[in-house]
Every structure is written in C-alpha cells, then in structure tokens.
Amino acid sequence: MVFHGNRAKIVFYRGSRFLVYPGVYEPAEDTFLLADNLEFRSGERVLELGTGCGLLSILAAKAGARVVATDINPVALECARDNAVEHGVAGSIDFRLGDLFGPVRGESFDLLVFNPPYLPSEDGERSSDPVELAWDGGKDGRKVLDRFLREFPHHLKPEGRAFFVQSSLSNVFQTKQMLEANNFKFKALEKKLFFERLYLFICFRS
C-alpha cells in the first residue's frame, strides 16, 4: 500500500514503513519478489547494489547481517539512510555512492543482491531521470545486467550466493548461459505480470 505525501511516498512491506523520496525508484513487484525470497543470516556480509530506498538492506541489517548498500543516485542513498535511521539499523549499513562494483573494489561478500535496470528501451526513450534510469536496460535490456554477470563472481566468497531479478523481455536464456559459463548453479523463480514475466535468479558456485 502506498500513500502520497508532500515530500515522499510511504510504502509498507509486511507492516514496516519505508519512505520513498522524489527521484528514487519506488519498490514494486521486483523488489517484493526479492524481499519475499531472500534469506539473511546473522553475521554474514551482504552487498546490495542499487539500494534505492534501502528496503532490502534494512531487512538484511535487521536479521543481523553487516551490509554495504550502494547506489549511483545520491538522493536514493539519502532516502535509504533516513529509512535505516527510522528502523534503528543505520549503524549496520555502510552506504556508498557509485556504479555497480566500483565502490567495493577488492571486497567480497557472502550474499549479493541486485535489482538491475532490465527493461529494453529505444534510444529515443532514454532520459537522465534517475527513476527512469532505474529500469532502463538499454536496447536489449542487458546493458547493466551483463556487466553485473561478468563482475559479480569476483566479489562473491566461495560459499556465497547471489540473488538478482530480470525480465522475460531481456533474454533469460542468455543469462543462464553466462551463469553456466562461470560455473554457477542456479534456480529461477518466476512471477507472471501483465506484459512480462519476472525471474528471480538464486545462484551458487558449482
């Protein structure tokens, strides 16, 4: 349920309230698909790329994880910090500004979480609006996803796992091929939406 206020929207997930500032991606079916299926373990090190309002990172911190949350959008990081303060977990989350793995070079994690831009767009449709950039995956929907798939094995501990979502519109078969080429086992959960299917990939090293 979402309420519209003068400065921010308020999104509720399982009874918990999260602010969403103007210019920040609003949690939707993709976010909730991740939230409903993630399992966080106390003491583990978690990286969330593109944290948005911070909902997933806050859930991880509440479960006792040590979290690094990144975003390319400074307003999103401000929003996520404020939500973390409201939920009493600001001390358990390290917020960093930057693109993909840029802010965590040389670091590795027990769990990686990513809700990437995954919808195809034509050149004329692209804009600099941060909310639109949060879903704009380029011409084939894979502009950011392929970068993630190439880089994430270097940041995942040997027994670690990675969760990410993508659309049926952005070539799920290619994603499976790339994971297999990197010796990852995976399962893909599916959620049917009006004009597409969302896939949640859960990945482990073979």
Specify the CATH number for the domain of residue 97.
Answer: 3.40.50.150
Distance between CA atoms of residues 141 and 145, nearest Å = 8
The verdict on residue 7 lying in a domain is no
Strand ranges, E, within 147-183: 156-167
pTM of the model: 0.90
Asked if residue 20 belongs to a domain, the reply is no
- In this structure, which amino acid lies at residue 127? S
| Domain span including residue 76 | 25-205
User: Is residue 83, in this structure, part of any structural domain at all?
Assistant: yes
From first CA to last CA, the distance across the chain in angstroms is 40
Q: Is 17 domain-assigned? A: no
Q: Is residue 110 part of a domain?
A: yes
Q: What is the pLDDT along the chain (206 residues), one digit of tens a residue?
A: 344 445 789 999 999 999 999 999 999 999 999 999 999 999 999 999 999 999 999 999 999 999 999 999 999 999 999 999 999 999 999 999 999 999 999 999 999 999 998 666 766 555 566 666 655 657 787 889 999 999 999 999 999 999 999 999 899 999 999 999 999 999 999 999 888 899 999 999 97
In a domain, 98, yes or no: yes
Q: Is residue 5 part of a domain?
A: no
Backbone phi, psi, residue 199, to 5°: -120, 130
Cα 133 from Cα 115, distance rounded (Å):
12
Give ∠ CA 77-80-84 in degrees, rounded to 5: 135
Question: Does residue 12 sit within a domain?
Answer: no
Domain count, the chain: 1
